[in-house]
């Protein structure tokens, strides 16, 4: 699933193509997944933002077009397979493709996220000054969930999903099944640093394109951070820190990769 680095890479690439442009037709055949898109037709794009894994395009007349890429959604500059939505602009078209059909679009009154509860309650952005070790510690202290679970829920920190949680926990030497509230201040400080470092480096590389090629940049170019993965999808391969074979377990129905020597569940 595209996570913060992939969504932010998409936003940065799309921004110069959208800002100041008047949206023509938005063509699709699924009004349940692509809701109220008729309201965006004829509106001018005034901003291109992101919150967690959501793209938020500000429109005139106090509207927002919100896009969630789901598991396999993405924008292209040229028609491609699994085309779901065509967005017409004055001088070009943008194409939204989605093999597994979990992506969604909404047009809402600006700032009204009552119909999107995940967006409404999302935690701080990991690279923002609002994300601090103290705030992370306060979020972890409230729950009996595992650290992997709580990070995936988006309330402690926004936009970090399965890939980057595994990478951050490995870097911080924390087992994914540790109870979040059991982490000591020093471990929380390491985790806070690891999340910021991993997300920052992934952004520099344009995100991660995995073996299914479900994520690509709008140009069709892949991301490149997968070549720097330390643990994700490396089951059975030696840990790049200690040489112990990487293991994979299920945590909250998500495959989780870790080093049993470096990340002890204590």
Q: Which residues of the chain have pLDDT under 70?
A: none
Query: Domain check: are 104 and 151 in the same one?
Result: no
To the query of whether residue 53 is one of the catalytic residues in this protein, the response is: yes
The whole-angstrom separation of Cα 189 and Cα 192 is 5
Q: Give a yes or no: residue 187 inside a domain.
A: yes
Q: Give a yes or no: residue 104 inside a domain.
A: yes
User: Which residues make beta-bridge pairs with 105?
Assistant: 34, 67
Give the domain range for residue 222: 133-258
Query: Domain check: are 21 and 42 in the same one?
Result: yes
CATH number (domain holding residue 20)? 3.20.190.10
DSSP state of 180: G
Domain count, the chain: 2
DSSP state of 237: S
To the query of whether residue 176 is one of the catalytic residues in this protein, the response is: no
Q: Give a yes or no: residue 128 inside a domain.
A: no
The catalytically annotated residue of 3, 64, 125, 167 is: 3
Q: Are 202 and 225 in contact (CB under 8 A)?
A: yes
| Pairing assessment for the beta strands 26-27 and 93-98 based on DSSP bridges | unpaired
Q: Give a yes or no: residue 53 inside a domain.
A: yes
pLDDT of residue 36: 98
Q: Are 214 and 9 in contact (CB under 8 A)?
A: no
Q: Give a yes or no: residue 76 inside a domain.
A: yes
Query: Domain check: are 198 and 237 in the same one?
Result: yes
The whole-angstrom separation of Cα 102 and Cα 119 is 16
The catalytically annotated residue of 27, 241, 254, 261 is: 254
Q: Give a yes or no: residue 264 inside a domain.
A: no
To the query of whether residue 254 is one of the catalytic residues in this protein, the response is: yes
CATH number (domain holding residue 172)? 1.10.8.50
Q: Note the pTM of the prediction, 2 decimals.
A: 0.97
To the query of whether residue 35 is one of the catalytic residues in this protein, the response is: no
Last residue of a domain, one of 120, 149, 184: 120
Query: Domain check: are 79 and 152 in the same one?
Result: no
Alpha helices (H) in the chain, listed in sequence order:
4-18, 117-120, 133-141, 147-152, 162-172, 185-204
Other beta carbons less than 10 A from residue 92's beta carbon: 10
The 3-state DSSP class for residue 23 equals coil
- Exposure of 233 in the CB half-sphere (CA atoms within 13 A): 13
Express as a percent the part of the chain with pLDDT over 90: 97
pLDDT of residue 48: 98
Last residue of a domain, one of 66, 97, 120: 120
Q: Give a yes or no: residue 209 inside a domain.
A: yes
Query: Domain check: are 116 and 138 in the same one?
Result: no
The 3-state DSSP class for residue 38 equals helix
Q: Give a yes or no: residue 246 inside a domain.
A: yes
pLDDT of residue 71: 95
Query: Domain check: are 101 and 169 in the same one?
Result: no
| Pairing assessment for the beta strands 83-88 and 26-27 based on DSSP bridges | antiparallel
The catalytically annotated residue of 50, 53, 104, 234 is: 53
Last residue of a domain, one of 87, 120, 153: 120
Query: Domain check: are 77 and 9 in the same one?
Result: yes
The catalytically annotated residue of 2, 5, 126, 176 is: 2
């Amino acid at each position: 699933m595209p996570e913060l680095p992939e969504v932010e890479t998409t936003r940065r690439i799309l921004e110069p193509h959208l800002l100041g442009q008047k949206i023509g037709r938005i063509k699709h055949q699924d009004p349940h997944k692509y809701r109220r898109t008729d309201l965006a037709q004829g509106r001018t794009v005034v901003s291109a933002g992101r919150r967690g894994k959501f793209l938020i395009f500000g429109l005139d007349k106090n509207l927002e077009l919100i896009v969630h890429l789901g598991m396999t959604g993405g924008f292209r500059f040229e028609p491609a397979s699994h085309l779901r939505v065509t967005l017409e602009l004055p001088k070009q078209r943008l194409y939204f493709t989605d093999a597994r059909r979990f992506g969604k679009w909404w047009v809402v009154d600006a700032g009204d996220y009552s119909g999107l509860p995940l967006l409404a309650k999302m935690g701080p952005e990991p690279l923002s000054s609002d994300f601090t070790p103290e705030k992370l510690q306060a979020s972890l202290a409230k729950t009996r969930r595992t650290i992997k679970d709580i990070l995936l829920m988006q309330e402690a920190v926004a936009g970090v999903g399965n890939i980057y949680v595994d990478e951050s926990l490995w870097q911080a030497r924390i087992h994914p099944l540790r109870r979040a509230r059991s982490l000591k201040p020093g471990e929380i400080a390491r985790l806070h640093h690891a999340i910021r470092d991993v997300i920052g480096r992934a952004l520099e590389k344009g995100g991660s394109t995995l073996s299914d090629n479900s994520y690509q940049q709008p140009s069709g170019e892949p991301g490149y951070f997968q070549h720097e993965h330390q643990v994700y999808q490396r089951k059975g391969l030696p840990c790049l820190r200690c040489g112990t074979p990487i293991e994979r377990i299920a945590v909250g129905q998500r495959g989780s990769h870790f080093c049993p020597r470096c990340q002890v569940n204590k």
